[in-house]
Structure formats: C-alpha cells, structure tokens
Structure 1
C-alpha cells in the first residue's frame, strides 16, 4: 500500500483559519493513519505486505502559508 495524501494551506498563519488547520490534519495525518490501520488487517491475513508513505516537498521546505 502506498500512502500519498496531503494538502497545503493557502492562508497565512495569522489568519487563524482553524477550519483549514483541521482539514490539513484530517488529510495529511489522520488519513495516513487510517489507511495504515486498514492495510494492517490485510497484511495480517496475507502474513506479508509493505506500507510506503511518501512526503511532499512541503514536508522539507518552508513556505509562507
């Protein structure tokens, strides 16, 4: 299974757009964890498997928003 999900906020942190923060956490963190949890069941049944999680450039570089 390959995890590849994420969104980048478009508003400045000072805008205090909490809804945007929640969406980013839901997509970028929770979705990855839920997919891993679902894959673990099948890996247990198959007694093997691989989980690959990618990171975007936004995880390695700093952007204003």
Structure 2
C-alpha cells in the first residue's frame, strides 16, 4: 500500500497531461495518439497497488497476528 502511494505520487509529479484534441475546442476528451502508450500506466499501477493493499489489510483483520517459525 505504501509502495502504491509512493508510485502514485511520483507518477503524478513527473507525468504530463495527454495531448488535447484541439486547445480551442472545449471538449474535455483527449486523443489517443500513441495507442496503449498514451494511457497513464504509472498512475493506474499506483492506484491499483493502493487498492490491493487496502483490500488485503481489511481481509486480514479477523486473522490472528502471529509469526510462523
């Protein structure tokens, strides 16, 4: 979960916006210039890791916290 948060923050600070279709046109959608490479993969991966961390954290609340030696 912490790794996902770090990845998400780093991606948001270093990533740029996708290219707009037309700066004069008021449509908010973006053009898919580079196909799958235009998708914000670092942001998506960071959010996914955060969500998985939260799910696994909640899923283990009922389990006993003990080490296996």
Identify whether the pair has TM-score above 0.5, normalized to the shorter chain.
Answer: no
Computing the radius of gyration from Cα coordinates, the structure with the larger value is 2
Q: Which has the higher contact order (CA 8 A, sep 6+)?
A: 1
What TM-score, normalized by structure 1, do the two folds share? 0.44
